[in-house]
Amino acid sequence: MALQIVRDELVRGEAKEGDVHSRHTRKLLVILLCFFALPARSFEPVAAKHGMVVSAEPLASEAGLQILKAGGNAVDAAVAVGFALAVTHPVAGNIGGGGFMLIRLADGKSVFVDYREKAPTAASRNMYLDAAGELKPEASTVGALAAGVPGTVAGLALAQQRYGNLGLARVMLPAIVLAEEGFPASYPFSESLRADRDLLDKFEASRRIFLRNGQLYEPGQIFKQPELANTLRQIAREGPKAFYHGAIGAAIVATMQKYHGLITVADLGHYEVKLREPLVGHFRGFTVLTAPPPSSGGVALVEMLNVLEPLDLGTPNSYQSIHLIAEAMRRAYADRAAYLGDSDFVSVPVAGLTSPDYAAQLRHEILQAKAGSPVGAGRPARTEPAQTTHFSVVDEQGNAVSNTYTLNGGYGSGVTVEGAGFLLNNEMDDFAAKPGTPNMFGLVQGEANAIAPDKRPLSSMTPTIVVKDDKLRLVLGSPGGGTIINTVLQVLLDVLVYKMDVREAVTSPRFHHQWMPDELVLEGWGFSADTIDKLNAAGYKTAASRPDERSAARGHIGECQAIETDSNTGWRFGAADPRGDGKAVGY
Q: Is residue 321 within the footprint of ligand DON (CB under 6 A)?
A: no
Exposure of 138 in the CB half-sphere (CA atoms within 13 A): 8
Residue 72 vs 294, nearer CB to ligand DON:
294
Give me the least distance between CB of 98 and ligand DON, in Å please. 8
Distance of alpha carbon 139 from its chain centroid, rounded?
A: 23
Residue choice 384, 395, 418, 581 for contact with ligand DON (CB under 6 A): 384
426 binds ligand DON (CB under 6 A): no
Among 93, 174, 479, 574, binds ligand DON (CB under 6 A): 479
Q: What is the DSSP letter of 497?
A: T
Shortest separation between residue 385's beta carbon and ligand DON, angstroms: 6
Instruction: Give me the residues paired with residue 287 across strands.
Output: 282, 467
Residue 57 within binding range of ligand DON, rule CB under 6 A: no
Name the residue nearer to ligand DON (CB basis): 243 or 431.
431
The residue count for binding ligand DON (CB under 6 A) is 15
φ and ψ at residue 292, rounded to 5 degrees: -80, 175
The enclosing H or E element of 400 equals: strand 400-406
Report CA-CA distances (Å) from 515 to 331, 433, 463, 520, 548. 7, 19, 22, 9, 20
Q: Is 438 in the site for ligand DON (CB under 6 A)?
A: no
Residue 307 interacting with ligand DON (CB under 6 A): no
Q: In angstroms, how far is CA 141 from the centroid of its own chain?
A: 18
Q: Give the start-end residues of each E strand in 218-259.
A: 222-223
- Whichever of 115 and 319 has its CB closer to ligand DON, that residue is 115
Residue 325: alpha-carbon gap to chain centroid:
23
Q: Tell the smallest beta-carbon distance from residue 449 to ligand DON (Å).
A: 11
Nearer of residues 330 and 556 to ligand DON, judged by Cβ: 556
Closest CB 270 distance from ligand DON, rounded Å: 22
**Would residue 264 show up in a list of annotated catalytic residues for this protein?**
no
Which part of the chain contacts ligand DON (CB under 6 A), choosing from 170-178, 205-213, 263-271, 479-487?
Answer: 479-487
- Of 180 and 430, nearer to ligand DON (C-beta) is 430
Site map 22..51 versus ligand DON, x via CB under 6 A: ------------------------------
Q: Which of 152, 255, 383, 388 is catalytic?
A: 388
Decide if residue 160 touches ligand DON (CB under 6 A).
no
Question: What is the smallest separation between the CB atom of 391 and ligand DON, expressed in angstroms?
Answer: 14
Q: Half-sphere exposure of residue 28, counting CA atoms within 13 Å on the CB side?
A: 17
- The answer to whether 461 contacts ligand DON (rule: CB under 6 A) is yes
**To the nearest whole angstrom, how small is the minimum distance from the Cβ of residue 141 to ligand DON?**
11
CA distance 391 to 124: 33
Answer yes or no whether residue 481 interacts with ligand DON by CB under 6 A.
yes
Instruction: Work out how close the CB of 550 gets to ligand DON at its nearest, in angstroms, rounded to a whole number.
Output: 12
Q: Given the rule CB under 6 A, which of 167-175, 333-341, 474-482, 538-546 is the region that contacts ligand DON?
A: 474-482
Considering the rule CB under 6 A, would residue 557 count as an interface residue with ligand DON? no
Single out the residue of 152, 160, 264, 460 in contact with ligand DON (rule: CB under 6 A): 460
480 forms part of the interface with ligand DON (CB under 6 A): yes
* Segment interacting with ligand DON (CB under 6 A) among 1-9, 74-82, 185-193, 456-464: 456-464
Residue 496 within binding range of ligand DON, rule CB under 6 A? no
Told to check if 406 binds ligand DON by CB under 6 A, we report yes
Three-state SS for 280? strand
- Residue from 408, 490, 542, 561 binding ligand DON (CB under 6 A): 408
CB of 559 to ligand DON, least distance (A): 8
**Which sign, positive or negative, has the C-alpha torsion 205, 209, 212, 216?**
negative
In whole angstroms, give the CA distance from residue 170 to residue 101: 20
Backbone angles phi, psi at 282, to 5 degrees: -130, 135
In this complex, which beta carbon is closest to ligand DON, that of residue 459 or of residue 514?
459
d(CA 312, CA 13): 54
Under the binding rule (CB under 6 A), the answer on residue 388 touching ligand DON is yes
CA distances to 229, 301, 337, 517, 562 from 86, in Å: 11, 28, 31, 34, 20
**Gap between the Cα atoms of 164 and 156, Å rounded:** 10
Residues 6+ apart with CB under 8 A from 485: 296, 297, 300, 301, 304, 332, 333, 460, 462
Query: Considering only residues 176-235, where is the footprint of ligand DON by CB under 6 A?
Result: none
Q: Taking CB under 6 A as the rule, does residue 442 contact ligand DON?
A: no
- 66 near ligand DON, rule: CB under 6 A: no
Which lies closer to ligand DON via its Cβ, residue 8 or residue 198? 198
DSSP one-letter code for 277? P
- Report the nearest approach of ligand DON to the CB of residue 459 (Å): 3
Written as one string, the DSSP assignment of 158-216 is: HHHHHH-SS-HHHHHHHHHHHHHH-EEPPHHHHHHHHHTHHHHTTSHHHHHHHSGGG-P
Is the sign of the CA dihedral 464, 466, 471, 474 positive or negative? Answer: negative
The candidate with the shortest Cα–Cα distance to 527, out of 503, 544, 552, 507, is 544
Phi-psi bin for 306: left (phi > 0), alpha (psi -120 to 50), beta? alpha
Asked if 514 is part of the footprint of ligand DON (rule: CB under 6 A), the reply reads no
Is residue 393 within 8 Å of 584, Cβ to Cβ? Answer: no
Positions marked catalytic: 388
Q: Which residues bind ligand DON (CB under 6 A)?
A: 384, 386-388, 406, 408, 427, 430, 459-461, 479-481, 484
